[in-house]
Structure 1
Amino acid sequence: MAPHKLLKVEVLSKTHVKPKKPLGRSECQLVTFDLPYLGFFYNQKFLLYKGSNFDEIVEKLKAGLGIVLEEFYQLAGKLGKDADGVFRVEYDDHMDGVEVMVAAAAEEVGVADLMEEMGMATFKELLPYNDILNLEGLHRPLLAVQLTKLRDGLVMGCAFNHAVLDGTSTWHFMSSWAEICRGSHSISVPPFLDRTKARDTRVKLNLEKPSDAPEKAKSAENGDVTKSDPPLQEKIFRFSESAIDQIKSNLNSNPSNGTKPFSTFQSLSTHIWRAVTRARQLKPEEITVFTVFADCRKRVDPPMPENYFGNLIQAIFTGTAAGLLSAHPPEFGANLIQKSIEMHDSKAINERNKDWESNPKIFAYKDAGTNCVAVGSSPRFKVYEVDFGWGKPESVRSGTNNRFDGMVYLYPGKSGGRSIDVEISLEAGAMEKLEKDKEFLMEA
């Protein structure tokens, strides 16, 4: 099917959904873990389902959303500031709530058509809030959902304000919403909503409108493409359970003195970092940076519960010369990643927060490092268990927002077990080389 057919998406209605019960007014200060992401774009998720009775499904989803928002009411609010200029999430019963759009794709478009591994730009019409900065949460909902009817199913496109929550919180919300729609009267794990338990420093930011955001984010929002921003290509590389096990066992087959076994994440990350560096054909002296947006819930002191709602991630950076990474065996890169992750303890997190608070800097979504490979999402997120009552998703992907050369999203493979899907955005020339790299593809 020709990709342009997907662009025939007609929005049929736009409504708002509030918590089913009145909750009054509440305010929750954004903290140091949240604030740097005001210059990112809304974080988009794309879930594809088979199913019939579209109108019935829409009503069921809206009804479930009204119930789940009683616990996750912050997503029904807006960004605001207190009298001192400190950002916060504000909710009251008079606010609009979550924006829900109902749409229809061209009649011939079916689920199988969207299973093709096209770039997400092809699917842009199926996602809300493209190129919308999180700072816009001052004026628009913090969550938007677009439900698009297909011939034999539907697409659920979601846009979450990234200044309000990270991936762990996103999938906690999605699984809770699905739980309600499957018939539960309450969610099994309510969110832990007090962000100040993780960090209570009050940081004043002089941001009022999108023009206050970083230049790179603004230029992307305006559709500007500079010479430093070549066209990107995206592809999903699917690694089976046996391929993942082989990558991990190969890396751990030559243990050096004093090193711990490398985890699945460290093994796959090294595999990706080395392959992308080869594909980019960097000069030996050029620096390449591996970045992981790491969950800090168990790293902070005191530790925060898994159901902490908000951002509790920090970027961990590992850098080396491309020549060193390529010339040494894989254990060299894996050691660098392992040490960087291990060193990022509560003391390091606290120091990073103090440094940022002394000189607050709003990140652009591309600030992940030189010649970087930056990993977001996690194969631990149970994305294929988000079943609203008519079956598990056929495909789960990240949207078009916050993509740059070297951005990688990891998801569990749909086949289950230890399989992992690796969604990579790269400059076209490098992607062409990566697609032919037998070592990366685990082909003999």
Structure 2
Amino acid sequence: MSTITASYNVTPNEPTPNVSLWLSESDQVARWSHTSTIYIYKENQTQNALERMRDSLSKILVHYHPLAGRLTWLEGGKVALNCNGKGVTLIEAESQKTMDDYGDFAPSEKLKNELIPPVDYSQPIEELPLLLVQLTRFKKGSSNNNNNNQLGLAIGVAFCHVLCDGLAAIRFINAWAKLTRGEVLDSIEMFPFLDRTIMNSTYPPRAPRFDHPELKPLPLKLGTTDTIEEQKKEKTAVILRLTSQQVEKLKKKTNDERPQKEGITKTLRPYSRYEVIASHIWRCASKARELEDLQPTVVRVSADIRNRLNPPLPRNYFGNALAVALTPKCHTKELITNPLSHGAQKIREAIELLNDEYIRSQLDFIRCHEQLDRIRASYLDQGEPKNAPFYGNPNLTIVSWMSMPVYEADFGWGKPGYFGPGAVYPDGKAYIIRSSDEDGSLVVSAHLQTAHKELFKKFFYEDI
């Protein structure tokens, strides 16, 4: 267990604009609860760490002042962001466990309760901090442990997803870390682009030009009429590691086995790491779930749209710049019996949908939607709210964090040795993350029903 030794409300150390910030459609469909991530550090040079973090946080909040604001509900289920400078929460805690006691830091209720800052959702939304950070020092290891001289620490982060996407959050954390270790921020780090009206390029709203199945109910398990029973089932998370050799083996196998279309003489573009590994996860999950042969299944993919829009968004855009797409439906038997390239091709087709025209149509679809709760990717730690979309069994959502600079979060005691989700998310969510070794190896954090965990692990490595 962990004991909280100090808790601070940190506000900007200079006056900031007291305004209401317009939120884009991409912000509106983000879950209004908090996304939890965790950084693990092996070094023990943490003297005055919290004091330095607290001081630098108050400084950087001047530039990222929306973080210190609060949300409020609007008519029709929308939310608004009040930049009122109420502050963010910074917590210091002591753990009664060593680093080794947490194993591979796979997300769990225990890990969330001990290393992730708690969010009290019984409060009105107007009182909830949008950012909470907890620094936890681990207990010293035993004398026969090779790491006994390294106390180690964890930084748990709870970030309100309405405020920004993962890339923007990581860039903020990295800028804060840079300031904490005494370095000067560059102009992009100091001046994030906060005006979300740049996303409102089709006003008044146009009618959507596409059907957007990604924002509608997904295929159900055969023989069911809703997702209630699937949502009730116990969920768990598993951490699976892929060496660079295993990644390359999967890529080579997938690309070598792809069917060559008759009459095409030019070299086909190889499948990417994401397309290959996502296809592998999709197939392994379908086998582990023991679905019927004719069970329809799809994968939701999400993409950073900063460079997909025309004109592109500014590099330092601070907000949600995400769009989602859906693979074509695939039957379980077809997915399992065909080569990995079959699933990889379907994932590629989903990604290729996300061009400027499709993204703007998706934003118009959201803007015109009367019941945002029906399409908002929202859930609380204590369970699914009424009407929340369910993306689990027999489907998946596979997120790539491979391009995010997560290991630049050096607060002065070295880069993190591990980064990943800090809570168990709903069934069917999987994250692909670069390993801290920076050698091409990857970490997969898969969130599934507990009953499917062991079979998924078995197939994951057996099929490589």
TM range (shorter): 0.7 to 0.9
CA gap of 1:137–1:377, structure 2 versus 1, over 3 A, is farther
Secondary structure at 2:63 match in 1: coil
Tell me the alpha carbon deviations over residues 200-238 of structure 1, each in whole angstroms, 9 at most, x when there is no partner: 5599xxxxxxxxxxxxxxxxxxxxx96642112211110
Secondary structure at 1:33 match in 2: helix
Does 2:367 match 1:374?
no
- The answer to whether the 8 A contact 2:61-2:68 is kept is yes
CA gap of 1:285–1:227, structure 2 versus 1, over 3 A, is closer
**Cα drift, residue 127 of structure 1:** 0.9
Match of 2:236 among 233, 244, 256: 233
Does 2:334 match 1:324?
yes
**Cα drift, residue 91 of structure 1:** 1.7
Tell me the alpha carbon deviations over residues 272-327 of structure 1, each in whole angstroms, 9 at most, x when there is no partner: 11111111111011111111121111112221133211111122111311111112
- TM-score scaled by structure 1? 0.85
Corresponding residue pairs, total: 407
- The answer to whether the 8 A contact 2:392-2:426 is kept is no
Instruction: Give the structure 2 partner of residue 113 of structure 1.
Output: 101
CA gap of 1:192–1:91, structure 2 versus 1, over 3 A, is same
Report the residue type matching 1:127 in the other structure. Answer: I
Instruction: Give the structure 2 partner of residue 22 of structure 1.
Output: 15
Report the residue type matching 1:350 in the other structure. Answer: R
- Quote the Cα distance in structure 1 between the aligned partners of 2:395 and 2:229: 18
Moved more, 123-132 or 97-106: 123-132
- Quote the Cα distance in structure 1 between the aligned partners of 2:56 and 2:184: 10
Secondary structure at 1:69 match in 2: helix
Instruction: Give the structure 1 partner of residue 448 of structure 2.
Output: 426
What is the aligned-residue RMSD (CA, Å)?
Answer: 2.6
After superposition, residues 93-172 of structure 1 pair within 5 angstroms as 95-106=85-96, 109-125=97-113, 126-129=115-118, 132=121, 137-151=125-139, 152-172=151-171
Tell me the alpha carbon deviations over residues 380-415 of structure 1, each in whole angstroms, 9 at most, x when there is no partner: 1121221111111122121226x1111111211122
Secondary structure at 2:271 match in 1: coil
- The answer to whether the 8 A contact 1:284-1:322 is kept is yes
CA gap of 1:202–1:192, structure 2 versus 1, over 3 A, is farther
- The answer to whether the 8 A contact 1:73-1:91 is kept is yes
Tell me the alpha carbon deviations over residues 88-127 of structure 1, each in whole angstroms, 9 at most, x when there is no partner: 32223xx331111222212xx2223234354421212211
- Quote the Cα distance in structure 2 between the aligned partners of 1:251 and 1:405: 26
**Cα drift, residue 163 of structure 1:** 0.7
Tell me the alpha carbon deviations over residues 55-85 of structure 1, each in whole angstroms, 9 at most, x when there is no partner: 5011111112112212211111112468999
After superposition, residues 242-257 of structure 1 pair within 5 angstroms as 242-255=245-258, 256-257=260-261
- The answer to whether the 8 A contact 1:285-1:322 is kept is yes
**Cα drift, residue 137 of structure 1:** 4.4
Report the residue type matching 2:126 in the other structure. Answer: L
Does 2:357 match 1:338?
no
- Quote the Cα distance in structure 1 between the aligned partners of 2:120 and 2:394: 23
After superposition, residues 192-207 of structure 1 pair within 5 angstroms as 192-199=193-200
- The answer to whether the 8 A contact 2:43-2:152 is kept is yes
CA gap of 1:343–1:84, structure 2 versus 1, over 3 A, is closer
Does 2:307 match 1:278?
no
Instruction: Give the structure 2 partner of residue 177 of structure 1.
Output: 176
**Cα drift, residue 159 of structure 1:** 0.6
- % same residue: 27
CA gap of 1:370–1:50, structure 2 versus 1, over 3 A, is closer
**Cα drift, residue 168 of structure 1:** 0.7
- Quote the Cα distance in structure 1 between the aligned partners of 2:239 and 2:76: 45
Does 2:357 match 1:347?
yes
- TM-score scaled by structure 2? 0.81
CA gap of 1:182–1:115, structure 2 versus 1, over 3 A, is farther
- Quote the Cα distance in structure 2 between the aligned partners of 1:369 and 1:146: 30
**Cα drift, residue 443 of structure 1:** 6.8
Instruction: Give the structure 2 partner of residue 5 of structure 1.
Output: none
Could you list the structure 1 runs, at least 4 aligned residues long, displaced by more than 4 angstroms after superposition: 81-86, 130-133, 200-203
**Cα drift, residue 149 of structure 1:** 2.1
